[in-house]
Amino acid sequence: MNGMIFNIQRYSIHDGPGIRTTVFLKGCPLACFWCQNPESQTLEPEILFERTRCTACGQCVIACPSGSNALIDKAVKIDRNKCTGCGECVAVCPNQSRRLAGREATVDEVIEEVLRDRKFYESSGGGVTLSGGEPSLQADFALELLRRFKKEGLHTALDTCGYVSWKTLRTLLDYTDLVLFDIKCLDAARHSKATGKPNELIVENVRKIAGSGETWIRIPLVPGFNDSEEEVRAILTFIKRELGLTKIDLHRYNPLGEEKYARLDRPCAHLTPQPEGYAEKLREIAAEEKP
């Protein structure tokens, strides 16, 4: 069985307990305007083009089988509508100005790479996390990975945005020890405007998950969207008092992913991160808020 992944991050310490390997699957049903991994949103492989490295040598133009690369005014342009993400241009670029985000991998290939660090998992109480994108968009592939990981005796975690049918999610939970569940906004209209989808299904799923196993809630603090003290308190009240969950991670906005938008020829919101002191204040509120 094959799937589309865009990264396998070893020695990960932020995606569950202990030292872990995080497998990032491509494809996401949401289109959050602050997304820090925009290359994760589509299911197809994509070219990230760093123009400052390009010398317009023309090798990519010659190698491209779809004719999506062209030299115009002494600069290389990519026609994204033509590009198939085959990676031929990446292979011939002498300046490493191109990177292919997304590659097809078999279950066996992923398992083999993850098992290289088994000793670290065993010594730290870690394991493997499936993330994305949204892993459930490749449900069969994700299910087989989780099943095989459990067969190998690894602790498994599933990082999900929650916008998935309960039938699909419930199947994945059979082989999942920990769910990392994102909560971004409680208002359905604002959630829809910010992510492209309403949140009723997400809220319904997190209510079901809260009573079915270990769940950590992750809140991305998005400048000007959900990072006011009032908004954070409202989300915390829902999580702690209605869901009965206490493990909550608040993530300060990180602008490092913004450069990827230019490399994908997409517009970027260019948000200003919260001061660390303010983000820490919100974390203190989260710790103090009573169930």
User: Whose CA is closest to 50, among 60, 40, 41?
Assistant: 60
283-291: Cβ within 8 A, 24+ apart: 283/250, 285/229, 285/232, 285/233, 285/236, 286/232, 286/236, 286/248, 286/250, 289/233, 289/236, 289/237, 289/240, 290/240, 291/240, 291/241, 291/244, 291/246
Residue bearing tokens 């020890």: 177
- Give the pairing of strands 127-131 and 155-160: parallel
- N- to C-terminal Cα separation, the chain: 43
pLDDT tens digits, 236-272: 999 999 999 999 999 999 998 999 999 999 999 999 9
Contact 248, 283 (CB under 8 A): no
pTM of the model: 0.94
pLDDT given for residue 171 in this prediction:
97
Domains along the sequence of the chain with CATH: 2-43+103-288 (3.20.20.70), 46-101 (3.30.70.20)
Give percent of the chain with pLDDT exceeding 70: 100
CA-CA distance, 34 to 153, in Å (whole number)?
A: 36
pLDDT tens digits, 71-102: 999 999 999 999 999 999 999 999 999 999 99
Q: Determine the residue type at 207.
A: R
pLDDT tens digits, 146-173: 999 999 999 999 999 999 999 999 999 9
Phi, psi (rounded to 5 degrees) for 11 = 55, 50
pLDDT tens digits, 173-188: 999 999 999 999 999 9
